[in-house]
């Protein structure tokens, strides 16, 4: 297994950045969308709806929950802790809902006390963000080159394989620093699922999942941590949700799709990737799309709740508030997607989401009619 080689000075610099970012992230990088910084401690608290999970969703959720609070005063505390942690908190029933950029897997399904339903909430792009001040034009990346970078096989930015697809670009001899997630992450699942589809070597050596054994690089907690690591480290490349790249004025690459086109991640290219048939349980992957104009590293994100909502000391009133919130998110709440660079749900996805929501019960009786 190859690793990226640094000079002692570069290693120390990267290590200090990593430690600093980890401390910042642990100290509250996620925050809550409604203004409270309390942790998700008890799903039985009727004063607020409590959620945890995807950092991919956090910019959109922050806006949605703020607007919903203005409409009816409901407080939503959301912790951007990563999809894996969100599922873990839902499993332990310390939150009212989880959020994940990957459907629950068999192991996670077996750990919950009763069935969990997945409501599609948004679709977005995972972008390849990089820190190369010398490169003025947008970097182009092919699936093979991208896989070789993250496998640690390409270690310099002026590597002939990168130069061959970026003709005329002034690529520096800078060492490549890979920034990846250190926590369980649906964003990681989207990216590694893509790499496993396009690279047999990646599929064999690393595979796909919310957490993998990375062949090279440094880890940051949450999309926030990875974005910070890239921004502060010349020569870095990593995968983050597009909103973080745009909010932080970070460069990101065009990626070649299955049709051979180099695609800029955008609302339009994610919408094209998401223009597929949605199964009844909503669990579907958008990566490596067949759409000629689709961005190949796109994915849905889901809100997760227990199908049977009567557990512990939960009240019928609170469960009704939760489901009305989620229903608003997949309908009126979608108006806030575009400005934050998320693709609004398609009518087909909304229809599937409605049907799934209506399957939720309290004491065996439907909550929403």
Q: How confident is the model at residue 21 (pLDDT cuts 50, 70, 90)?
A: very low
Instruction: Evaluate if residue 359 carries a pLDDT over 80.
Output: yes
Contacts of 81 (CB under 8 A, 6+ apart): 30, 52, 53, 55, 89, 183, 222
Q: Is the residue at 295 inside a domain?
A: no
pLDDT value of position 223 = 87
Confirm whether 307 is domain-assigned.
yes
SS3 assignment for the chain:
CCCCCCCHHHHHHHHHHHHHHHHHHHCCCCCCCCCCCCCCCCCCCCCCEEEEECCCCHHHHHHHHHHHHHHHCCCEEEEECCHHHHHHHHHCCCCCEEEECCCCCHHHHHHCCCCEEEEEEEEEEEEEEECCCCCCCCCEECHHHHHHHHCCCCCECCCHHHHHHCCCCCCCCCECEEEEECCCCHHHHHHHHHHHHHCHHHHHHCCCCCCCCCCCCEEECHHHHHHHHHHHCCCEEEEEEHHHHHHCCCEECEEECCCCCEECCCHHHHHHHCCCCCCCCCCCCCCCCCCCCCCCCEEEEEEEEECECCCCCCCHHHHHHHHHHHHHHHCHHHHHCHHHCCECCCHHHHHHHHHHHHCCEECCEECCC
Quote the pLDDT of residue 65. 98
Domain end marker among 237, 258, 273:
273
pTM of the model: 0.83
**Domain range enclosing 206:** 8-13+125-273
177 and 138 in a single domain? The answer is yes
Token pair for 158 = 């002026």
Per-residue pLDDT, 341:
92
Q: Looking at the 3D structure of the chain, how many domains does it have?
A: 2
The pLDDT of residue 46: 58
On whether both 213 and 266 belong to a single domain, the answer is: yes
Decide if pLDDT at 252 tops 80.
Answer: yes
d(CA 276, CA 234): 38
Q: Is residue 294 part of a domain?
A: no
Answer yes or no: do 105 and 135 share one domain.
no
Q: Is residue 21 part of a domain?
A: no
Same domain as 148, residue 219: yes
Whether the predicted pLDDT of 4 surpasses 80: no
Residues 130 and 248 in one domain: yes
- CATH number, domain with residue 136: 3.40.190.10
- Are 112 and 131 members of one domain? no
**Residue 278 domain-assigned (yes or no):** no
Per-residue pLDDT of 281-340, as tens digits, reads: 999 999 999 999 999 999 999 999 999 999 999 999 999 999 999 999 999 999 999 999
Q: Average pLDDT, stretch 165-182?
A: 96
Q: What is the mean pLDDT of residues 64-79?
A: 97
In a domain, 280, yes or no: no
**Residues near 99 by Cβ (< 8 Å), separated by ≥ 6?**
51, 52, 53, 54, 57, 61, 78, 83, 86, 121, 301, 302, 303, 304
Same domain? 131 vs 256? yes
Is the residue at 288 inside a domain?
no
Residue 20 lies in a domain: no
């Amino acid at each position: 297994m190859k690793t990226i080689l640094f000079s002692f000075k570069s290693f120390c610099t990267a290590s200090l950045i990593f430690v600093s970012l980890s401390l910042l992230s642990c100290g509250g990088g996620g925050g809550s969308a409604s203004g409270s910084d309390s942790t998700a401690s008890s799903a039985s608290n009727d004063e607020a709806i409590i959620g945890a999970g995807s950092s991919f969703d956090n910019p959109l959720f922050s806006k949605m929950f703020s607007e919903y609070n203005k409409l009816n005063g409901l407080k939503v505390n959301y912790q951007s802790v990563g999809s894996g942690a969100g599922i873990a908190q839902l499993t332990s029933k310390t939150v009212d809902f989880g959020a994940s950029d990957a459907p629950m897997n068999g192991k996670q399904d077996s750990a919950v006390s009763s069935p969990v339903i997945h409501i599609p909430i948004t679709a977005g792009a995972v972008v390849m963000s990089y820190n190369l001040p010398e490169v003025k034009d947008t970097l182009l990346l092919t699936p093979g080159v991208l896989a070789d970078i993250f496998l640690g096989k390409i270690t310099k930015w002026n590597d002939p394989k990168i130069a061959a697809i970026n003709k005329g670009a002034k690529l520096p001899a800078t060492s490549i620093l890979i920034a990846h997630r250190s926590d369980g992450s649906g964003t990681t699942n989207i990216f590694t699922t893509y790499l496993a589809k396009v690279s047999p070597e990646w599929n064999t050596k690393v595979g796909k999942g919310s957490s993998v054994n990375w062949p090279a690089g440094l880890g940051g907690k949450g999309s926030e941590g990875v974005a910070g690591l890239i921004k502060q480290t010349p020569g870095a490349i990593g995968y983050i949700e597009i909103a973080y790249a745009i909010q932080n004025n970070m460069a990101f690459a065009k990626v070649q799709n299955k049709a051979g086109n180099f695609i800029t991640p955008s609302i339009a290219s994610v919408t094209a990737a998401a223009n597929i048939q949605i199964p009844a349980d909503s669990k579907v992957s958008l990566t490596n799309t067949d759409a000629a104009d689709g961005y190949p590293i796109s994915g849905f994100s889901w809100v997760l709740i227990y199908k049977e909502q009567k557990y512990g000391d939960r009240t019928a009133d609170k469960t009704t508030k939760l489901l009305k919130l989620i229903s608003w998110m997949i309908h009126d709440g979608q108006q806030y997607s575009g400005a934050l660079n998320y693709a609004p749900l398609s009518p087909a996805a909304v229809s599937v989401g409605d049907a799934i929501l209506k399957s939720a019960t309290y004491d065996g009786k439907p909550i929403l009619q």
